[in-house]
Structure 1
Amino acid sequence: MSELLTIILLGIVEGVTEFLPVSSTGHLILATRLLGYDAGRWEVFNVVIQLGAILAIVVLYWRTFWAVAMGLVKREPKSWLFLRNLVVAFIPAAVIGLALHKYIEALLGNAEVVAIALVVGGFAILAVERFAPRSDVSGVADLPLRTVVGIGFLQCLAMVPGVSRSGATILGALALGVERRTAAEFSFFLAIPTMLGASALELIKNRDTLASGQGVGVLGIAVGFAVAFVVALLVVKWFVGIVTKHGFVPFAWYRIAAGSAALVWLLTK
């Protein structure tokens, strides 16, 4: 496969999976094994294109962010509660992620762990959809502090590749009594500080690779970034509509099918 085609394919994978409860990191790890390319060479590329998907959220929800920013200037309580909830939910991942960084890295090359996590996560989604309490709590600013803390710690489960950051936060919110649309949007917003922090850490760690030009070139990274951005723009709008009408069950069955197929392939190859 040509390098350009690989760049486009990985950009599509990132854009499609970053905000769905199916694990973008897990899919990229499986793609590495399936395509048989050198994961080390593409490590920085995989990190930077995540920022393309994050930019899609900023663009799609710019009115929300602008309203919050203006509210902070005017000292409006709702805006400060919005900011508080994002910061509080981000802190557990920041602290635990830094503390366990080396252990997390050791799991990132394990495709078998991804496949198992996909299947287990699929059944977890079915369980949450079946048994989670229903609530009319809506709006990020209206989430109680204890709920926000719980979501923040549940997000840390996504440090295991294949669990899915969006899946952990969305399901955690649902289990704690948050309605579907707010759970999804809070997950989107929480992705911004979480992924910016993770990307900054990876870029600092790989600064020598960037400087030496040993990885994918700047043009290739730019193409992957743009592809992830455009695809994420389309997917997020579609995802919110699906979740609002049908819930998360379709994604559960996808996880179970994809994880099972990947596990069979990995054990028989």
Structure 2
Amino acid sequence: MSLLEAIIIAIVEGITEYLPVSSTGHMIIASSLMGIHKEEFTKLFEVAIQLGAILAVVALYWRKFFDFTRWQFYAKLIIAVIPALVLGKLFSDKIDAMLESPTTVAITLLLGGVVLLFIDRLFTKNDIDTEERISFKRAFIIGLWQCLAMIPGMSRSASSIIGGMQQKLSRRLAAEFSFFLAVPTMCAATGYTLFLKDVETGGVSQKGYELILASSDNITAFIVGNIVAFVVAMLAIKFFIGFLQRYGFRLFGWYRIIAGILLLILIYTGVIHS
């Protein structure tokens, strides 16, 4: 992976991580178009640069994250992240296999897009508008919804936002709780990939962080990628909240449908190999 390729993937991650369009799906598409999606470092990099996106949420909402008097806020996030931790561990190998399939991404982009076209009509009586009113039960159910994002192209953001709205959260609060929930979820996924999961490269098994430290190019890509993802994600979050309040989810639904159709065409014509 060249530095330019790393920057491109980091920009894609920063833009799409908190939008309901699937960051994983878009990174798979980008790396496939550049011909690097089969490389082990690319797969690791696409997870590792989530650190930058995580820090973007913490930086924007630092007052909430560092208000240690509000223990219930942290408890709700812990409860909500439990389903992803359990299912992620149980189905780790199957998830990894799906991550190599652009066809899976195309299909889930289409299906998720159809849902987003109608979500504003489905949930019209959403009156929970403060985080304090989210019960522990509602937080856990939203966490279950988030697990749909283990299918590439489904979108962690879309899954948890839809779950939030199904649990009567307002658009804005559903989006913000999705951002908050991303922090422990992505920290767990990134930490597991970097420090616990074995990566096979050239017949040698090593941890993710060892692969990053294996060359100066990998280290540079990791550092620059996270910086780019951090800056772009901050801008994307600010845009999304304002856009969502004004226009809802319909445009994102049409975007997903169009992107899914285009991806299927690229796969069918052989531009991208499934």
TM-score in terms of structure 2 length = 0.90
CA contact 2:118–2:250 (8 Å) conserved in 1: no
Shift of 1:209: 5.5
CA contact 2:194–2:207 (8 Å) conserved in 1: no
Question: Match for residue 46 of structure 2?
Answer: 46
Question: Match for residue 74 of structure 1?
Answer: none
CA contact 1:126–1:249 (8 Å) conserved in 2: yes
Question: Match for residue 5 of structure 2?
Answer: 6
**2-side partners of 1:58 and 1:216: how far apart?**
28
| 1:145 aligns with one of 136, 146, 153 | 136
Deviations 1:164-186 (A, max 9, x none): 00100001111221101100010
Question: Match for residue 202 of structure 1?
Answer: 193
Counterparts of 1:225-244 in structure 2 under 5 Å? 225-244=226-245
Shift of 1:217: 1.4
Question: Match for residue 55 of structure 2?
Answer: 55
Question: Match for residue 203 of structure 2?
Answer: none
Residue identity in the other structure for 1:168: S
Question: Match for residue 98 of structure 1?
Answer: 89
CA contact 2:3–2:220 (8 Å) conserved in 1: no
TM-score in terms of structure 1 length = 0.92
**2-side partners of 1:83 and 1:217: how far apart?**
34
Counterparts of 1:1-269 in structure 2 under 5 Å? 3-37=2-36, 38-67=38-67, 69=68, 71=69, 79-204=70-195, 205=197, 206=199, 207-208=206-207, 210-211=209-210, 213=214, 217-269=218-270
Which runs of 5 or more structure 2 residues have no equivalent in the other structure?
200-205
CA contact 1:117–1:161 (8 Å) conserved in 2: yes
**2-side partners of 1:258 and 1:215: how far apart?**
35
Name the % identity.
Answer: 43
State how many pairs are aligned: 259
Residue identity in the other structure for 1:235: A
**1-side partners of 2:267 and 2:217: how far apart?**
27
**1-side partners of 2:244 and 2:230: how far apart?**
21
Residues 219 and 175 from structure 1, CA distance in 2 versus in 1: closer, same or farther, beyond 3 angstroms? same
Residues 27 and 81 from structure 1, CA distance in 2 versus in 1: closer, same or farther, beyond 3 angstroms? same
Shift of 1:14: 0.5
- Higher helix content, 1 or 2: 1
CA contact 2:6–2:225 (8 Å) conserved in 1: yes
**1-side partners of 2:241 and 2:269: how far apart?**
37
Which runs of 5 or more structure 1 residues have no equivalent in the other structure?
72-78
